[in-house]
Structure 1
């Protein structure tokens, strides 16, 4: 029957795509349903991109165990998927003796979780790692790292797709029924059936539960706002710098975070929201982040702040409670075949490959999983971006394809070949944000002021795009509306 699968996954964030890739190793049919027109359009692209070491979570919890395991798996995964990663370490800094107690608590908790290399440093020792850092002591966690979260999410999806997984983008799930041994899922006016249904819908995971009559979960969206700093400051931070945690806070506090692209992030804030798609950046929080930035990096200038953005955490703890609740990852006894993931907030990115293994084990108790002979977990292409390659490799690529020699995005030094590859992505997504997230064009100082018109020309001349075809990210985000001028006759 058309649109019938062994497994359907709802949600194409980093966790859903990690599960899809893991299951694509086996001789079963797998589909992913995603309400947005591309993967990684929600929480998975709107976060700090930090690979956490595992110091922040209570021993014995899923968060703690999957965080440490996922951290240990990430280097090999990123090597296979050609995703840039850097384990640069983190200093969690105490400003007074009360906060020093928090550092000792974190160290004990981390050691219990199996986090290697933890050490509490005196002021002179921590300043050898990060000159001019404030505070009186710091906990050093060397296995903390950074990654591009949307690059990983996209790579997981594209590799799963290459290994036979079907992606249905722009397919919001509207209803679910269980009929005999099959789930019937309605999405975008189509009917899908599967033996196993996996809920990886993030901010909407409780809504999916409700469709199946499960009312024990509730998600409280919690917004974190960020500022992005110009690459002029690349090299300012040798490690990530976090404040010591305070009991009951919804996040880990405002901090400075390196990115693998060379920018620095300031944030995130923590404000509960009613709307799971309220990605506003607010004047009061932007002012707070600027102040924090100036306090930590006194040489900052106004022109160093090049962009703001926000993301939403899928928290299970309501306003007034804050803190963290453990992940829900369960194979339901009352609804056989339903594997339910709820409240996968931080460290969901770090935990994603470990979560995928855990879910695979659950699926294996429901279906026979025979390894697929033709599975290929290695992505082709280069790691990172053309401008980061050695000159000899650049020259070789230009000789093979002259489009590598034409720069389209001056700020990020992104070439025409990279833009063409982004437009021609395996998932068939041609929104402006799809090109942006796959190539990094439009992410520099001018935020697309120079390169966006050139990208529009490429899409028009080489792909036949008309003005009404250009979308930023969703069906209701037209780039061009109406005529700019009436041609003279």
Structure 2
């Protein structure tokens, strides 16, 4: 037996990390089991990074309820956890009578859900808000916004760790067995015991649900591809621009990021392989063509990267997408909270989902408050966004703030070292990337990647062959190109 926990959270995406943080408000020994080598390596870090308003979901659903709640609290969370968030608004753009009727229905649904700041606007107002957009009218969601999904998830996870939660990376759950009043969790790195198990496995939710004995769920993968555009276009897009939505799909949209880039996408395709993130050329071409109907500033010369994400959608026997499922099946799996189909708006809704999970647990277990809980977390100080005076002060404090490693994003050696020393013990290249934005600029790591790899070696005292880019099998280097003499 490698260890025992009061609660084992399976999955370290945004929802699993939020659950771990909420649980750390109580006197509990918490273990977070994640098959990847860092948080938000899957759906939580592969999305549009939009904070949704809550109008796009059927009334009386958990999706609608938690989205509205998450939107309202995002500003406070941003201050507590020190991640970028902008309540910039969003427009859903239409051109036809049918579009107008759909927008009226969407606005009415938003009102029922409790979403606020929704307004139908004419062409003049639309072009005041987004001069470069193409459209006749729109629904304006004033309270929608954009955020950094990496730093949000990292903030939740690192704050949970600072309050006592233990994150076990590279620990894929291979089996779950009920033993007396506890669970035995079998991983590739040994066995662990836990009194409570929480299935926050995202794309793996059905697998874990089946292991718990809660069978019968059908989960499909909906893959969406994206293009990232250079920062020089950011000033042309002050807020996300969406087409008029259908009942099941928000459509290919154009979204600014909190750091000034623009993302185009996603499209949507049902997939059975939940691990393949390649983006075909034809999809990139279709994304650019479709999104140009809304915002005609998408050129190949400005495309610096592409990526994709996969949403775990719970569907019924007819293929109809269902609401979030968050349940305790006491007769089948006592002391287990099962989360299935946590897709969009999971990023916006993560903390309300976590609070709901804790309330469900309280119906079965007395939880004692942790009076030592500290809700605040500080991210790494960013040199690029500091004022001239602040930059000078940082360099006086630590001379390595005066050495730029990533020229595109102005990331210093001090920031790289701080990222390598993160509270979660993450030692990957993307662990540095997501915490600092190094390798996210125009050259996408062409000039700084190997400098960062060498700093990981130096800081952690590990050989080059052991440094991973992101996943367990993603070696940065596999050997020498030539024998040393």
- Whether 1:21 aligns to 2:18 is no
**Map of 2:58 onto structure 1:** 58
- CA positional deviation for 1:131: 1.1
Would you say 1:409 and 2:406 are equivalent positions? yes
Distance in structure 2 (CA, Å) of the matches to 1:240 and 1:320: 32
How much does 1:132 deviate? 3.5
User: Is the CA contact 1:220–1:318 (under 8 Å) kept in the aligned structure 2?
Assistant: no
Moved more, 478-487 or 101-110: 478-487
- List aligned pairs for 1:151-300, cutoff 5 A: 151-247=151-247, 249=248, 251-300=249-298
Alignment of 1:293-332 (within 5 A): 293-317=291-315, 321=319, 324-332=321-329
Find the residue that maps to 1:176 and give its secondary structure: strand
Specify the alignment match of 2:383 in structure 1: 386
Q: CA RMSD in A?
A: 1.6
State the secondary structure of the residue aligned to 1:195.
strand
Counterpart Cα distance in 2 of 1:276 and 1:6: 30
Q: Give 3-state SS (helix, strand or coil) of 2:218's partner.
A: coil
Distance in structure 2 (CA, Å) of the matches to 1:456 and 1:190 = 29
Cα shift at 1:179: 2.1
Indicate if the aligned counterparts of 1:96 and 1:135 stay in contact, CA closer than 8 A: no
Alpha-carbon distance in structure 2 between the residues aligned to 1:2 and 1:477: 26
CA distance in 1: counterparts of 2:268 and 2:208, whole angstroms: 25
> Displacement of 1:374 after TM fit?
1.2
Q: How does 1:339-378 map to 2 (within 5 A)?
A: 339-378=337-376
* TM-score for the superposition, normalised by structure 1: 0.96
Could you give the per-residue CA deviations for residues 224-260 of structure 1, whole angstroms, max 9, x where no partner exists?
000000001121112211000123x4x3110001111
Mapped partners of 2:483, 2:371: distance in 1: 59
SS at match of 2:28: coil
Q: Distance in 1 between matches of 2:277 and 2:456?
A: 28
Contact 2:316 2:322 in 1 (8 A): no
Q: 1:177–1:184: 8 Å Cα contact kept in structure 2?
A: yes
How far the C-alpha of 1:400 sits from its partner, in A, is 0.6
| Most deviating of 252-261 and 283-292 | 283-292
Q: What is the Cα deviation at residue 339 of structure 1?
A: 0.6
Q: Secondary structure at the match of 2:221?
A: strand
Q: Is 1:443 matched up with 2:430? A: no
What do residues 348-398 of structure 1 show as CA deviations (whole Å, max 9, x unaligned)? 000001011101111222222121121111113566x22112222222111
Which residue of structure 1 aligns with residue 394 of structure 2? 397
Q: 1:483 to 1:14 in 2, by over 3 A?
A: same
Deviations 1:9-52 (A, max 9, x none): 10000000000001101111111111111111110000011100
1:167 deviation in Å?
A: 0.9
| Counterpart check, 1:465 vs 2:462 | yes
> What residue ranges of structure 1 are gaps of 5+ in the alignment?
none
The number of residue pairs the alignment matches comes to: 484
What do residues 47-95 of structure 1 show as CA deviations (whole Å, max 9, x unaligned)? Answer: 0111000000111111100110111111111111110100100100112
